[in-house]
Amino acid sequence: MDKHKLTLEQINAYGQYLLEEERSAGTVKKYMRDVRTFHDWLDGRHVTKEIAVQWKNYLLSQNYAPVTINGMLSALNGFFALMGWNECRVKFFKIQRKMFQDSRRELTFQEYIRLVETARRQGRERLALLLEAICSTGIRVSEVKYLTVESAQMGRAEIALKGKVRTILIPKKLARKLLQYAKKQKIASGEIFLTGGKKSMSRCQIWSEMKSLCQEARVDAEKVFPHNLRHLFAVSFYKVCKDIVRLADVLGHSSIETTRIYLVTSGTEHAHMMEQLRLIS
């Protein structure tokens, strides 16, 4: 059985490779963290297929969710492929597609409105508009930088991410609000959502500002993060168009299976649909 030595230098090289492949900063950070965690767990041992399988089972014993483990294995398998250690690659856990999601994690339309209204009530115009911009376009938090004065004027934004370019239409009402805000902030061109120092807002800053609204808005903090706004957009868009292929294009998904995840109903809604079947006398 082949044995390989895993070094921090190799992990750093993996990170550089991911950057050259134009992976997002978030993906590179996560993959690097996952492989470093494996390195620390190895504690100097050589890498073999048997050891990699032991790592997979160890994660399960530590109560990691199978979907989380699969994400960590994806990072590790990518590293093995780069190093030519293909015999060490580990199979993913097979996970049945969810029929419904936990309603405790689902952001409702009413809760979204309360968040926006709370931000306005607190005089935080930028945050209120940012919530509306993400939720009404379905963009990722990493794509906020593409909302520029120019894109608002044209009514569309050209987003280049993960090696793909897609066009996002900006609703007319949102475009007007973006331009009004930009004028008020004396932003003549370029990005609209900037910090006080005229720099791009970071993922962490957006996340933190959203969380700060929870208590006054009476929304569970576990529901409040940028990606849930994207989910709410997806559900709302699909209810109108009933076209999953078009939705996949709008969201920038390569696979419709990814888009299906966004359309999983809550347990409460699923139970309501079951009751409507009227199959019990």
For the stretch 73-113, pLDDT in tens is 999 999 999 999 999 999 998 876 555 555 567 889 999 99
Residue 264 has pLDDT above 80, yes or no: no
Torsion angle in degrees (nearest 10) through CA of 76, 81, 84, 90: 50
Three-class DSSP category at 160: strand
Q: Which of 191, 189, 193, 186 is nearest to 210 (CA)?
A: 193
Whether the CB-CB separation of 240 and 185 falls below 8 Å is answered with no
| Of 105, 108, 89, 79, nearest in space to 18 by CA | 79
Q: Are the C-beta atoms of residues 66 and 230 closer than 8 Å to each other?
A: no
- Residue 137's pLDDT is 92
| CA–CA separation, 88 and 165 (whole Å) | 34
Asked if the model's pLDDT at residue 216 lies above 60, the reply is yes
Strand partners, 161: 164
Q: Partners of 100 in the beta sheet?
A: 265
Q: Is 148 helix (H, G, I), strand (E, B) or coil?
A: strand
> pLDDT grade, residue 172 (50/70/90)?
very high
- Between 134 and 259, the higher pLDDT residue: 134
Helices (H) and strands (E) in the chain, counts: 14, 4
Evaluated on CA atoms 250, 252, 256, 259, the torsion sign reads negative
Task: Work out the end-to-end distance of the chain between its first and last CA atoms, rounded to an integer number of angstroms.
Answer: 62
More confident residue, 25 or 112: 112
What pLDDT score was predicted for residue 123?
96
Closest CA to 151 of 175, 134, 127: 175
Residue 4 bridge partners (DSSP)? 47
Where are the strands (E) in 39-114, listed by range?
100-101
Q: Give yes or no for residue 249 having a pLDDT over 80.
A: no
Residue 67, both tokens: 């979907």
d(CA 142, CA 63): 30
This prediction's pTM = 0.64
Alpha-carbon gap, residue 13 to 159, rounded angstroms:
28
Q: Are strands 164-169 and 265-266 parallel, antiparallel or unpaired?
A: unpaired
Query: For residue 1, what pLDDT band results from cuts at 50, 70 and 90?
Result: low
In the chain, the DSSP E strands lie at 100-101, 156-161, 164-169, 265-266
Strand partners, 266: 101
3-state class (DSSP) for residue 94? coil
